[in-house]
Amino acid sequence: MVDVRDAAKVLAEARRVVVLTGAGISAESGVPTFRDSLTGLWERYDAQALATPQAFDDDPDLVWGWYEWRRCLIERVRPNPGHEAVAAIEARAPHTVVVTQNVDDLHERAGSAAPIHLHGSLFTPRCATCSRPAAVTACDEPEEGRRLAPPRCGQCAGPIRPGVVWFGEALSEEALETAVQEATECDVLLTVGTSGLVYPAAEIPRVAAMFGGTVIQVNPQPTPLDATAAINLHGSAATVLPALVK
C-alpha cells in the first residue's frame, strides 16, 4: 500500500508535473459533478438535450438558461483547499501545467496562472454564427430550470452560445496538443476528480504512463484510470491534495 506520504515524496521530487482535473475537484465547493449517483447533473438532466450542438439548435432558450444557471451558481461559490493545493504545486515544481475539463473558473480564483480549459469555459460566451466573443452579463438570482433567450450578437444578430465544448464538437487543437505534449514529457501526472469516461481527455493519463510518467490518481471512487495509475489515493480532493503538498 502506498500512502499519501510516499505520493507526496514522488510529487516533491518531480520537475515536470501535469495536473489533470475533473468535476470532482469542484464538488466540495458546491458545484455538482456530472456522473455521481444522486448528486450528478446527468442524474437529473439529459446530456443529449443540453450538451450538444443539436440541443442548442433545437431549443436555445432551454440550453442557454441551463448554462446561465450553472455559471451563476459558480459565481457564488469559492475555490476549496483542493484548488489551493494545485496552485501550491504550481508554485513549487519548476514546471507545472494544470489541465482541466472543468468549465468553472475556480482554478484561476485559487491562483493557478493559466489552466488549460480542455472543455472551454462558462465565462467565454461567443456568437454561434460568427464566433465573435460576447460579454458576460451580471447574474441576478439564478433559478434552476428557467428558460432564457440567449442574447444576440452585436455583429450579425446570431444567438450567443456558451463557450464550452459540447459532445460531438472538437476540442481546441492548441489546448489538446499542449496537454498531450506535456503528458509525454512529465515526470508525474496527477489526475484528480475525474471519472475518466470522456474522450479524448481520458487518454491524457494513459499518454503520460506510456511515456514513463508516474500517474497519481485522487478519487474517492474506483475509475477506469485505476489500472493506469501507479498510485491510487482514495479520498476527496479537499482532504488528499493538501496532504500531498505538505
Q: How near is the Cβ of 67 to Zn ion at its closest, in Å?
A: 18
Residue in 112, 217, 228, 236 binding ligand BV8, rule: CB under 6 A:
236
105: left (phi over 0), alpha (psi -120 to 50) or beta: alpha
Contact between residue 109 and residue 83 where contact means Cβ atoms under 8 Å apart: yes
**Could you say which of 143, 221, 224, 234 contacts ligand BV8 (CB under 6 A)?**
221
- What's the burial of 241, exposed, middle or buried (CB within 10 Å: 0-12/13-18/19+)? buried
Task: Please state the closest distance from residue 126 (CB atom) to Zn ion, in A.
Answer: 8
Give per-residue burial for 93-126: e unless 16+ CB within 10 Å, then b.
beebbbbbbbbbbbbbbbebeebbbbbbbbbebb
User: Distance between CA 96 and CA 104 in Å, rounded?
Assistant: 20
Contact partner at residue 155 from ligand BV8, Zn ion, none, CB < 5 to 8 Å by partner kind: Zn ion
Cβ 207 to ligand BV8, closest distance in Å? 16
Each residue 4-43 as x (binds ligand BV8 by CB under 6 A) or -, in order, gives: ------------------xxx--xx----xxxx---x---
Residue of this chain nearest to ligand BV8 (CB atom): 24
Cβ nearer to Zn ion, comparing 38 with 135: 135
* Residue showing cell 485559487: 110
CA distance linking residue 236 with residue 30, whole number of Å: 13
Q: Is 170 in the site for ligand BV8 (CB under 6 A)?
A: yes
Binding residue per annotation — 164?
Answer: no
Are the beta carbons of 171 and 118 closer than 8 angstroms? Answer: yes
In whole angstroms, the minimum distance from the beta carbon of 179 to ligand BV8 comes to 13
Closest CA to 219 of 82, 108, 84: 82
Residue type, 124: T
83, 107, 117, 119: which is the annotated catalytic residue?
A: 119
Q: Does 114 participate in binding Zn ion (rule CB under 5 A)?
A: no
Is 127 known to sit in a ligand binding site?
yes
Q: Would you call 119 a catalytic residue per the annotation?
A: yes
Which residues participate in the annotated binding site for substrate? 67, 70
Q: Which residues bind ligand BV8 (CB under 6 A)?
A: 22-24, 27-28, 33-36, 40, 51, 101, 103, 119, 164-170, 193-195, 197-199, 218-221, 223, 236-237
